[in-house]
Structure 1
Amino acid sequence: MHYADYKTILSQQNGMNLYRGCTHGCIYCDSRSVCYQMNHDFEDIEVKRNAPLILESQLCHKRKPCMIGTGAMCDSYIPLEDELQITRQCLLLIEKYGFGLAIQTKSARILRDIDIMKRINAKTKCVVQITLTTYDEGLCRKIEPNVSTTLERFQVLKTMQEAKIPTVVWVSPILPFINDTEENLHGLLDYCIEAKVVGVLCFGFGVTMRLGNREHFYAKLDQQFSGLKQKYVQQFGNAYICNSPNNNLLMDIFKSKCQRYGILYKTEDIFAYLRKFESKEQQTKLFY
């Protein structure tokens, strides 16, 4: 771990990442890509010094409240968060100033902050986004070794459902020749149906690979999936988008099942939902 100084926290799209790097160990992680210009080891987490102070200043200068997103490039609940509690401090500020929250994670650590999320959701909207990749718990431990298992993440979804906090699931990535099966997709979607998620994001059934994350991914394939690296090289070469040969079949299943159970599945619809700020306090006042 090391600290770094930043002048801003929020992007133009009102997203923020409080850490740079990760220790979850997911073998496919796009954030390892060279294009993100991380000048330190990926597991040597960079902590944004005084992030809560900078966030408070930026929130105070907003003309009107909006949804604040976090967790896209770096999980907000890496193990360091237990000690530093930077995510929790920032959530308290989001609540204090009346902003909404769209937060993404793979970690059950998020349950620590459910008290703040309930309060945000009572005033506006708090959406918890959980990534699910494989229904198989053993396979999960191979491709996402240091993070909550799929079952644990499903239990987070259920807990959020009970707390009336809306959820969105990212089914991504689906790794060709590893978890690109009908059985896996049905298992993940059944979790989503049971947890009554608002939407499921899927950008196609495959994985993206760029300089940096491709080399790491291939090294992990050599360690855990004998001979599979050669199959990837033959199938995809240096392609950025590596779609599963089962992509069309899986996409048909995905769309059909989401439609049947009233789950949002079009990316534009889900992102519009995540970005839409809602004031429940104003709605409540209409009845008085």
Structure 2
Amino acid sequence: MHFVKAKGILSSKNGMNLYRGCSHGCIYCDSRSKCYHMDHIFEDIEVKENAIELLEDALTRKRKKCMIGTGSMTDPYIPLETEIGNVRKALRLIYTQGFGFTVITKSARILRDLDLLQKINEKTKCVVQMTLTTFDEALCRKIEPNVSTTKERFEALKTLRDAGIPTVVWLSPILPFINDTEDNISGILDMCIEAKVYGVICFGMGLTLREGNREYFYKQLDHQFPQLKERYIQTYGNQYIIESPDNNRLMRLFHQKCSAGNLVHNNQQIFQYLQTFEEKNLTRQLCLWDLVEK
């Protein structure tokens, strides 16, 4: 790891990255793409040493409360978080200043902060977004070698359910010729139904490849799935969007199972839900005033 002093912490859409780079080792990681201008070795995690001070200042200056998000570029619950603790410090600030929170992760480490997640959710709204890609534990270890297994993430989703914290699952990416099977999609959605997630985000059965992450992906294919790289090159060339040959059939299955399991599966509706700030204490107060007036 290495430390830097950042100039800012919140994006225009109130997202933040406390770290840059990752040690999960997922073979398909888009954050390796050169367009993100990460000018250091990806596994050499960049730590923003003044992140918490910047966040406190940014939240203090906010005129309106909103949802604060993290995890879109770098999973904040990498092993280094256990040592640095920036996520937990950020959660304390978000709670004390009355903001909502949402996070995207693949790690069961998030349960370390269950107490703060509950406090935020009791006061405003906290939504945990968990990525699930494969129902097969052995395959999970191949394509996501250093992250919590699918079973561990499933158990975390159930723990969050029992704690009253809403969850959303990202069904992404689905790798052609690897995990683009009916059994895999059904298995993941059965988990989502049992865990009573709010909804499942899916942009189609496939992945994206561009300069930076394509080279890493192909290198890992050579290591884990010999000869499969050649099939990708022959089928897709240098395409950015890599769609499974079974996309249409699998998407029909996806929508059917989500509908049957009462899972929201409209991406726009889910994103609207994630972005909408709710102040629960205020809602309760208004309800009480309504009763008094009546």
Classify the TM-score, shorter chain.
Answer: over 0.9
> Secondary structure in 1 aligned to 2:13?
coil
> Pairwise mapping of residues 1-288 of structure 1 onto structure 2 (< 5 A)?
1-288=1-288
* Paired letter, 1:257: K
Deviation at 1:215, TM superposition (A): 0.2
Q: Structure 1: any 5+ residue segments left out of the alignment?
A: none
**Unmatched tracts of structure 2, length 5 or more:** 289-294
- Indicate the percent of aligned positions where both proteins have the same amino acid: 62
Q: Which runs of 4+ in 1 moved over 2 A?
A: none
Describe the superposition over 1:29-81 as per-residue Cα deviations: whole angstroms up to 9, x where unpaired. Answer: 00000000010000000001110110000000000110001011000100000
In structure 2, distance between residues paired with 1:15 and 1:287: 32
Question: Which letter does structure 2 place at the counterpart of 1:270?
Answer: I
SS at match of 2:98: coil
State how many pairs are aligned: 288
The normalised TM-score by structure 2 is: 0.97
Structure-1 separation of matches of 2:105 and 2:16: 13
Aligned to 2:161, what secondary structure does the other structure show? Answer: helix
Q: C-alpha separation between the residues in 1 aligned to 2:44 and 2:223?
A: 22
Could you say what secondary structure the match of 1:286 adopts?
helix
Give CA-to-partner distance per residue, 1:113-166, whole Å, 9 cap, x none: 010000000011000000000000000000000000000000010000000000
- SS of 2:54's equivalent? helix
- Inter-partner Cα distance in structure 2 for 1:190 and 1:257: 8
Q: Deviations over 1:77-127 (max 9, x none)?
A: 000000000011001100010000011100011000010000000011000
Determine helix, strand or coil for the equivalent of 2:210: coil
Distance 1:192 1:53 in 2: 37
For the residue of structure 2 that corresponds to 1:269, the secondary structure is: helix
Q: CA deviation at 1:284?
A: 1.3
- The structural deviation recorded for 1:220 is 0.3
Which 10-residue stretch deviates more, 259-268 or 130-139? Answer: 259-268
Give, as a single letter, the amino acid of the residue that structure 2 aligns with 1:192: C
Q: How far 1:276 sits from its partner (Å)?
A: 0.3
Q: 1:282 corresponds to which letter in structure 2? A: L
Distance 2:107 2:213 in 1: 21
Cα deviation digits, residues 189-239 of structure 1 (max 9, x gap):
000000000010001100100100000000000001011000000011000
